[in-house]
Structure 1
């Protein structure tokens, strides 16, 4: 069932009250420089305006906001003074609140078993969600199109499944490229980490960079990605140098899948991906059951047709 904006804000306010005390909010406001000195207008006041008092804050006049703030909290502000407090520090403060809420919410989850901690330092999951905004926000948050909306927002979030620590939180345009942000997050990877992400973050260059940091990655394989085996009998030149075109043999994945039974899984170890610079990987191949195939076809857009995944 779809919730109205006021219902969503009510649920959000309940989470705020449960996980963040007024003292914690004020501390976040100081850390993000939203409050630099003792002020009558604090972090709780900003939240009150954005969450509890004014669901339509973008269309409410500054004078009305000041009246609502004074009536609810006793804080007296001039319209000009309030306008000056809607600044980058306020945006960062709201960003920090969302990060803290996610951190404390996921911290209530139970961690994975110790089996995984023996092999990996952190299991990092990176994903995103995108949603539409009113068209008035198109100048700040461009949309990805669709449904006649010109504004949209994308939230990208990464956490560690072993400690349930929030690692990254990024808020940007709905049309923002996931792969670009995924590349930026590689810098914080450490040896022994494993990163799990979906196809939106697929990048052979990123996977190579992750391997160079002695970390690991887990991803689905893009449709047009070719998989190769090392040729046991390559052609050589007179000086013994291997002819480049014969060093690897391309695997016909469609033909390979046809050898599997529905529901069967097979691992291809010691294989390579990449058209030019080959990256050593392991590929897990799974053949869908008839029911799974029908479900996939039901959800697949009608304009998508079957094609050779590696070209001719």
Structure 2
């Protein structure tokens, strides 16, 4: 397992010149300051951090310790992350099972999360408002593996990352993506690699179907203006009952591109529609730009495009897409439990050390959590709460990483398993039957 397999820290430290620039501070002491407590170097002042060092036998002034956060320290932590990333990609890991017609190789979920920063970092990380960074992360829902990571300026868009991450796409992978990555080019590349996608479609997407009464030129070629007929979502929802699904096996995306895909429309229940309208309202309050009127007009339907074959029932498409919300739980845990978005008035190199430390923490916590999830389901028939598990794992990462004795390692893991067996069960809400009013 990745959390008990050593990596060559001394070699990484030499290669990145960490040792050369940090002679007073050993690699292990530096890592302990970073990982003994999530968010440590961002939450605590330099005075508090220096006091922590004195407890482990290292005496250093605030100015001296601040200098330890330099470009070599950042390069060292980045290299550690890349080493762990490479190792976990090669591990043989048991997969969790999902309800699906196709046995997917991976279920890849990509999303970006914004991290607010102090204004002094605006030159390096310009945000939409003041300073900010954005982290793009893609992981496999079946194993918990990291597949792609990119750190960007806060004002950067998502679409470029949507293309870049496809370099590692393999046959029979399934990608689940939100509106920020909606591009015809992505769908074409996924098709080309014999993989699958399920994507939400923006409200203003133009859909076309084959014209019911096409007209032809004398030479037999179809007239362009009579080849397709516009499909209006606003009209579709008027004829759909709440809680029902409608499918079009073949539609064409875009007025110019006319990219062929499969369309699945879900008409929300009354409660779901109210929640969706609240989300749209909040988005209008927190994000720049004006919400389009059509977003409100079709707020009661969820629109999905996919290249899944017809043997996959239309009802399964929204069910598969729901797994995408797992990334929201991952980011919530990363921010609230590991405190990656905690910031103070600190220099760029110190923040980047904080970021890469928390990124390493996320990678390890996510991977261990998903292995524990499989164990609890198979051995104890318990469904774990991923968020509770990630929180408990992240608190123990430093002790687990340090453990080299088999007995010590087993004791730490057994202690974690006992705690999760008592408190880590997922609270699964039962689906209430719909009322007649909701079905209208």
Q: What range is the shorter-chain TM-score in?
A: 0.7 to 0.9
CA distance 1:279–1:40, shift in 2 (3 Å): same
> Does 292-301 or 194-203 show the bigger shift?
292-301
Residue 124 of structure 1: how far off its partner (Å): 0.7
Residues 191-221 of structure 1, C-alpha deviations (whole Å, 9 max, x = no match)? 2212111111111222122212222211111
Structure 1 gaps, min length 5: 1-18
Provide the C-alpha distance between the structure 1 equivalents of 2:23 and 2:275, rounded to a whole number of angstroms: 58
Distance in 2 (CA, whole Å) between partners of 1:42 and 1:22 is: 20
Query: Against the structure 1 CA distance between its residues 130 and 233, is the aligned structure 2 distance closer, same or farther, given a 3 Å change threshold?
Result: same
State TM-score, norm by structure 1. 0.72
Alpha-carbon distance in 2 for matches of 1:222, 1:75: 56
Cα distance, 1:157–1:27 mapped onto 2, change above 3 Å: farther
- Which is helix-richer, 1 or 2? 2
Aligned residues of 2:33 and 2:53 also touching (Cα < 8 A): no
Higher RCO (CA < 8 A, seq sep 6+): 2
**Cα distance in structure 1, aligned partners of 2:279 and 2:99:** 36
Q: Which residue of 2 aligns with 1:135?
A: 119
141 and 111 in structure 1: CA distance in 2 versus 1, 3 angstrom threshold:
same
Partner of 1:112: 96
Runs of 4+ in 1 over 6 A off after TM superposition: 36-40, 76-82
CA contact under 8 A between 1:26 and 1:42: conserved in structure 2? no
Q: 1:307 aligns with which of 294, 309, 316?
A: 294
Post-superposition Cα deviations, 1:40-83, rounded to whole Å, max 9, x if no partner, equal 6443333345566974599749xx97x65862444578978984
The aligned residue for residue 9 of structure 2 is 26
- Identify which of 250, 253, 274 aligns with 2:233: 253
Aligned pair count reads: 281
Asked if the contact 2:7/2:83 (under 8 Å) is kept, the reply is no
1:207 aligns with 2:187: yes
Identify unmatched segments of 5+ residues in structure 2: 285-289, 299-440
Tell me, in whole angstroms, the C-alpha distance in 2 between the residues paired with 1:226 and 1:170.
Answer: 31
Out of 263, 266, 276, which is 2:256 matched to?
276
Residue of structure 1 in register with 2:54 after alignment: 71
Contact persistence 1:50–1:57 (CA under 8 A): no
Let me know the Cα RMSD of the aligned residues. 4.1
After TM superposition, list the pairs within 5 Å mapping 1:31-180 onto structure 2. Answer: 33=16, 41-50=25-34, 55=41, 60=46, 71-74=54-57, 83=67, 86-87=70-71, 90-91=74-75, 93-94=77-78, 96-97=80-81, 100=84, 111-113=95-97, 116=100, 118-145=102-129, 150-180=130-160
Contact 1:120–1:192 under 8 Å retained in 2: yes
CA contact (8 A) 1:156 1:170 kept: yes
